[in-house]
Amino acid sequence: MLSNGKYFTVTNIAGGGACILICQLIYTHIYVQKKIQTKIREFSHYRGAFTVLSKHRKAMDFLGLPLTVGEVDLVDRKRNYIDGRMSQLRIPICGERDGGIMVVRAERDEDGEDFETAQIELELDEAGHNIVIYDNGRWSGSLVLLDNSTDICSILPSNQFCCHFKS
């Protein structure tokens, strides 16, 4: 039987070990999330979408500069996915005037190595418009139209991801 002092020490050690384990799990989760976000940002269709966006005058007029880019929601695997043949990424983006979601749809090219951007659509919050800023006519996936209540910018406070700066 353990005396009161020894029992207290064993409890402290076990509790401290549990806290260290929980902190390590949280750190690992955050680390993995950041690594996945970095990997997504390296895809050619992700980078190419911002090149197309920067050259699209109407979209840039709606958004305004400077642009802030959020992270792809990794939990929403129905609307954010990358599989063997197709990819769809919903990227939160906001500018000085408006914000919203840039939907980048892509398909693998013929050799199956890299994704080729098929369609880029900008879903604006304040303006209430959806602007297709690029379409090569080859997107074979299904298009899901959503109401504003399920849009991430309608759910989150305005200072997260879709930061609307009003003067």
**Alpha helices (H) along 42-162:** 44-55, 57-63, 152-155
- The region of weakest confidence among 57-66, 72-81, 106-115 is 106-115
- Give the three-class secondary structure for 127: coil
Structure confidence at residue 2 (pLDDT): 52
Structure confidence at residue 11 (pLDDT): 84
Checking if the pLDDT of 122 tops 80, the result is yes
Comparison of pLDDT for 111 and 122, the residue scoring more? 122
Fold of 44-155: Nuclear Transport Factor 2; Chain: A, (3.10.450)
- The region of weakest confidence among 104-108, 123-127, 163-167 is 163-167
Q: Taking the domains of the chain in order of start, what are their residue ranges? A: 1-42, 44-155
Nearest partner of 86 among 138, 51, 10, 122, judged by Cα: 138
Structure confidence at residue 5 (pLDDT): 58
pTM for the whole structure:
0.72
Checking if the pLDDT of 147 tops 60, the result is no
Backbone φ, ψ for residue 128 (5° rounding): 70, 20
